[in-house]
Amino acid sequence: MKKVFICLLLGSILLCGCKVKESKNNLKENPKKINDSYVFTVQNNDLVLGSYFDLKKLGKEKKYSETASCAFEGIDKTYTYDHFEVTTYPKDNKDIIGNIYFLDENIKTKEGVGISDSIDKVIATYGSNYQQEGTLFKYQKGDMELKFIIEDDLVTSIEYALIV
Amino acid sequence: MKKILIIIVFLMIFCLLNKLVMPKYMTNLKEGNMTYEYYKEDKNHEVIFLGDCEVYANISPLTMYENYGITSYVRGNSQQLIWQSYYLLKETLKYEIPKVVVFNVNSLRYDKKVSEAYNHLMIDKMKWSKEKIDLIKVSLLENENFLYYVFPILRYHDRIFSLTKEDITYLFKEKNNTYNGFLVNKKVKPVSNLPTKRKLSTYKFQDNVLKYLDKIRILCKKNNIKLVLMKAPSLYPYWYQEYEKQVRDYASKYNLDYYNFTISTNDIGINYKEDTYDGGLHLNLNGAIKLSNYFGKILKEKYFLKDYRKDDKISSIYNLKLKEFKKEVE
């Protein structure tokens, strides 16, 4: 019986010692591998969701805003540039790119699709392996999505987003 | 006999380990203790506020009591989704039947389970009941397991190596962090810039969300409770016109009162340069007091609530609470 008790006790202690499963809010290793993700290229800089955001690369933003979470520490930061917006969230005291949002027609994805382009161009560029939810067309690569809102066969919104 | 003793000792160690590794939510992440604090209350509330952070940060029940004699409680949690509000209301009705339930509509925009961390903040310290079991079932994310909520050690076992002073200090004792569910925040962070208002693929509240709004409405009706809808003042996340129209249509269809305080900030006297602690997402203490004064008057007059300042038993309880509240906020 002593053996059973020792086994149970050891079991509890071992359970405590198990490595915790990463929460979904925790990011995986950084930097991200580029071939796992869609890449947004601007001013010859590649921005990859899930990797650290190097603020210096893009120059001074036009607008900067912060939003806090309801309970947890750390703030999401949004940097607005002329034609797009980058939103980061904190991890290990660094800012991780969580979202890139196009603000107008004067910017395109690395593959050449922009706001006002046709749905045909989107499908010709990214293929027909997309998920559709109403006007939303989503392409997934790794743990990120490239999202197009398409209305009247035209792209009206483009966003790169981490899957949460 | 020896076997039984060994099993008892093992169970005691197992229970202790579970209690030890579970976050205490006393000095850090105070939001995790909100569900639990309600159980310690005298259940005599005429108004129950239900919703997410927009209620626990913005509504001060003790201000409503002080100025209008209203007894109320905020059953709100961080990122409380509508199905969670429903089960929390169901649980509340096992303890008391209020005259009015005020539901904050912000969560109508969320139709997906969002975060395991927020689930735990709300559920970890909820008392075991059928409502808790149902709530866990509807809240579980793909990577979660029901047993994580039954045996905290399964979820928090890594904490054994990072226990803090709080874990020891509050292993066997508790303290209240809120005043009738209101979490005081005195910081001031004025509004500066906000992110761009983004285009959404749909603005329509999803069927699953509306199903739970119906459930809340029907539950209130069955219990002869007046359901009131509110939208707390906030500048972000944006409350789209399309959302507003759907709430107004719903309220009109079912003859519910709806108060959108995002459009009456001038009347309330809210100044986003000084009445918010996070740049316009939530009100701070000053803002919450202003809103509670304003809304308390409406509640009192419109729903004929009793002035409990004249009730010896209730006022003796609330005067003690008010004393503590004043001590913290002044």
Min Cα–Cα distance to chain A from B3, Å: 7
**What's the pLDDT tens digit per position in A37-89?**
789 999 889 999 999 998 888 889 999 999 887 767 778 999 999 999 999 99
Residue A45's DSSP bridge partners are A42
Q: What interface predicted TM-score (ipTM) does this complex get? A: 0.79
With an 8 Å Cβ cutoff, are A103 and B196 in contact? yes
Residue B12: closest CA among chain A residues belongs to which residue?
A: A9
Give the integer Cα–Cα distance in Å for A4 and B7. 10
Sheet holding A94-102, edge to edge: A63-68, A75-80, A84-91, A94-102, A154-162, A144-151, A136-141, A131-133
In a domain? residue A43: yes
Among A1, A20, A156, select the one facing B158 at the smallest CB separation.
A20
DSSP conformational letter for A25: T
Q: What was the pLDDT predicted at A72?
A: 75
**What's the pLDDT tens digit per position in B203-251?**
999 999 999 999 999 999 999 999 999 999 999 999 999 999 999 999 9
Measured in degrees and rounded to the nearest 5, phi and psi for residue B191 equal -70, 135
Confidence tier at B28 by pLDDT (50, 70, 90): confident
Helices B130-139 & B116-123 angle (0-180, nearest 10):
170
C-alpha radius of gyration, chain A, whole number? 21
Mean pLDDT of B65-88: 97
Q: Is the pLDDT of residue A132 over 90?
A: yes
Q: What is the Cα B3 distance to its own chain's centre?
A: 45
Q: Is the pLDDT of residue B129 over 90?
A: yes
In a domain? residue A25: no
Mean pLDDT lowest among A64-78, B61-75, B124-138, B192-206 = A64-78
With an 8 Å Cβ cutoff, are A78 and B195 in contact? yes
**What's the pLDDT tens digit per position in A111-128?**
999 999 999 999 999 999
Q: What was the pLDDT predicted at A125?
A: 97
In a domain? residue B15: no
In a domain? residue B64: yes
Half-sphere exposure of A39 (CA within 13 A, CB side): 14
C-alpha radius of gyration, chain B, whole number? 21
Mean pLDDT lowest among A58-62, A99-103, B128-132, B145-149 = A58-62
Q: What was the pLDDT predicted at B106?
A: 97
Show residues of chain B in contact with A149, CB under 8 Å: 199-201
Q: Are A79 and A97 in contact (CB under 8 A)?
A: no
Q: Is the pLDDT of residue B80 over 90?
A: yes
In a domain? residue B291: yes
Residue A141's DSSP bridge partners are A144
Q: Say how many residues make up chain B.
A: 330
Containing structural domain, residue B96 = 24-193+200-329
In a domain? residue A69: yes
Per the structure block, which two tokens stand in for B80?
A: 């409380």
Q: Is the pLDDT of residue A32 over 90?
A: no
Q: What is the dihedral of CA B78, B79, B85, B87, to 10 degrees?
A: -90
Whether residue B233 has a cis bond before it, omega within 30° of 0: no
Give the integer Cα–Cα distance in Å for A105 and A156. 9
Q: Are B299 and B100 in contact (CB under 8 A)?
A: yes
Q: Is the pLDDT of residue B330 over 60?
A: yes
Q: Are B82 and B107 in contact (CB under 8 A)?
A: yes
In a domain? residue A49: yes
Q: What was the pLDDT predicted at B297?
A: 98
Mean pLDDT of B140-169: 92
In a domain? residue A46: yes
Give the integer Cα–Cα distance in Å for B312 and B318. 10
Give the integer Cα–Cα distance in Å for B52 and B177. 17
Q: Is the pLDDT of residue B18 over 80?
A: yes
Beta-carbon contacts below 8 Å between A and B: 107
Q: What was the pLDDT predicted at B68?
A: 98
In a domain? residue B2: no
Per the structure block, which two tokens stand in for B259?
A: 């108060």
Per the structure block, which two tokens stand in for B159?
A: 């904490």
CATH number at residue B205: 3.40.50.1110
Give the integer Cα–Cα distance in Å for B278 and B267. 22
In a domain? residue B11: no
Among A19, A72, A85, select the one facing B196 at the smallest CB separation.
A85
Half-sphere exposure of B4 (CA within 13 A, CB side): 1
With an 8 Å Cβ cutoff, are A4 and B6 in contact? yes
Q: Mean pLDDT over all residues of chain B? A: 95
Q: What was the pLDDT predicted at A10?
A: 52
Confidence tier at A9 by pLDDT (50, 70, 90): low
Residues 6+ apart with CB under 8 A from B330: none
In a domain? residue B14: no
Of A37, A56, A155, give the one whose Cα is nearest residue B199. Answer: A155
Helices B312-329 & B61-68 angle (0-180, nearest 10):
120
Containing structural domain, residue A75 = 34-162
Q: What was the pLDDT predicted at A55?
A: 86
Decide: helix, strand or coil at residue B205.
coil
Q: Is the pLDDT of residue B183 over 80?
A: yes
Residues of B at the A interface, defined by Cβ within 8 angstroms: 2-3, 6, 9-10, 13-14, 17, 21, 29, 31-32, 52-53, 78-79, 114-118, 121, 141, 143, 153-154, 157-158, 160-161, 192-196, 198-202, 236, 278-279, 281
Decide: helix, strand or coil at residue B2.
helix
Q: Is the pLDDT of residue A34 over 70?
A: no
In a domain? residue A116: yes
- DSSP assignment of B254-283: TT-EEEETTS-HHHHT--TTTSBSSSSSSB
CATH number at residue A84: 3.40.33.10
Mean pLDDT of B123-130: 96
Q: What was the pLDDT predicted at A127?
A: 96
**What's the pLDDT tens digit per position in B262-284?**
999 999 999 999 999 999 999 99
Q: Give me the amino acid identity at B286.
A: N
In a domain? residue B88: yes
Q: What was the pLDDT predicted at B115?
A: 86
The whole-model pTM stands at 0.89
In a domain? residue B4: no
With an 8 Å Cβ cutoff, are B17 and A16 in contact? yes
In a domain? residue A86: yes
In a domain? residue A3: no
Decide: helix, strand or coil at residue A14.
helix
Of B285, B308, B66, give the one whose Cα is nearest residue B178. Answer: B285
Residues of A at the B interface, defined by Cβ within 8 angstroms: 1-2, 4-5, 8-9, 12, 15-21, 23-25, 63-72, 78, 80, 85, 87, 101, 103, 133-136, 147, 149, 156-157, 159, 164
For chain B, the domain total comes to 1
For chain A, the domain total comes to 1
